Amino acid sequence: MNILSNILPQTPATPSNKKRRGIEIKSQREIDIMRQAAKIVATVLKEISQMVEPGMTTADIDAYAEKRIREMGATPSFKGYMGFPASICSSVNNEVVHGIPNPKKVIRAGDVLKVDTGAYFQGFHGDSCITIGVGEVTPEAAKLIRVAEEALYKGIEQVKAGNYLMDLAGAIQDHVEANGFTIVEDFTGHGVGRNLHEEPSVFNFRTREMPNVKLRAGMTLAIEPIVNAGSRFTRTLRDKWTAVTVDNALSAQFEHTVLVTEDGYEILTDRSQV
């Protein structure tokens, strides 16, 4: 889940969303707990990717995700966060992020479906997003999904202690633009741990407007490029959550929770490991 504080409603701090200052370096004990939280997220998203089919509603997927998260001993990170009403964000086609599940929102063959979810387990969050091509999608949609996922891994490959956020941001941007797509700049990734959103902001494009933080072992980052087929610009609907592309072009997103290590990284929400 990817927050822009200037467009979303604010709620009083709670144990799971209270604001903390500074970048947190996780201890080994905290990392071990985060591995468990992230494994729950990875498991749920893997199961969803295998079960989605035309005719389901986004509310069906939300109900399944909440049920599975709770069965594994965690609580949904998103539900109630800043007033968000569901356990997943389900964004379809031109919806960029923060789509609200709806029993009237029927998934159809050819849709580009983004499913973003988080799990809060023993005081720590895991956070991840996938994009699913439902049934047979157009060649453009298939390429968009592929490039968005490749861009995530291009960024992750730059993660290790001593590198900088700009290293991964530049790798993501270069791959996306080389393939003829655009990076959404209205939303960024973030640190993740005790809080769903922590410092630093993890941007996906070159900028001098945000700190170019040096990575340190023990940092845990939610890296999440959002890639549009057309304009990079977005607008927010009247529900004050759902962001859509301004030109109605398709959008795709992938996200992993990643641990920075001394010599590289560990993808905590790796679906291939569940």
Residue 111 is labelled as binding a ligand: no
Query: Which residues on neighbouring strands pair with residue 214, listed in sequence order?
Result: 164
Residue 255 is labelled as binding a ligand: yes
Quote the CA–CA distance of 209 and 233 in Å, as a whole number: 18
Residue 190 is labelled as binding a ligand: yes
Residue 175 is labelled as binding a ligand: no
Contact present, 268 and 256 (Cβ < 8 Å): yes
Residue 174 is labelled as binding a ligand: no
- Residue 221: what are its φ and ψ, rounded to 5°? -120, 140
User: Strand 124-133 to strand 112-121: parallel, antiparallel, or no bridges (unpaired)?
Assistant: antiparallel
Contact present, 46 and 271 (Cβ < 8 Å): yes
Q: How is 145-167 classified by DSSP, letter by letter?
A: HHHHHHHHHHHHTT-STT-BHHH
Contact present, 117 and 65 (Cβ < 8 Å): yes
Which residues line the annotated binding site? 98, 116, 127, 190, 197, 224, 255
Which residues line the annotated binding site for substrate? 98, 197
Which residues line the annotated binding site for a divalent metal cation? 116, 127, 190, 224, 255
